[in-house]
Homo-oligomer: A and B are copies of this chain.
Amino acid sequence: MFAKPHLKLTLEGAQALLEAAVVKAEQIGVPECIAIVDDGGHLLAFARMDGARTLSVETARRKAATAASTARPTGGIAADVDTKLALATDGKLTNLKGGLPVVVDGKVVGGIGVGSGTGEQDLEVATAAIAAAVPQLRS
């Protein structure tokens, strides 16, 4: 088979995730950087909330891209391997918490990455965004 059926995350979908993440971040009172990427790790939608760290723009993006590539939450790589992986990818693969894959109909269509809070806060915001925005569109 030359090419197989897949799904492509739309800007509409990415913005739904972004909005849901902002709502959650406001609820817990933590300004966040939120990045949504497609399955190739390329940015689709982004927001830096007032007060969020400028240096988290990039960590949020890399968390999203890492989750999209690995198809699992960021932060779970063994401690003896994660620095090696980061160095071997010029820092693109990050093991910071706060990245989740976006899965629709069993296919990874992208990733969400949240940064500027603690790892736990970032993950909480990403989790809430997935829960609020993704399920309503599953078949």
Contacts and interface: CB of A to CB of B under 8 A. Distances in A.
A87 B9 CA distance: 28
B2 A137 contact: yes
A88 B86 CA distance: 8
A2 B89 contact: no
State the main secondary structure of chain A at its contact with B. mixed
Interface of A: 1-16, 38-50, 53-59, 62-63, 65-66, 69-71, 79-96, 104, 109, 119, 133-134, 136-137
A7 B5 contact: yes
A8 B6 contact: yes
A41 B12 contact: no
Nearest to A7: B3
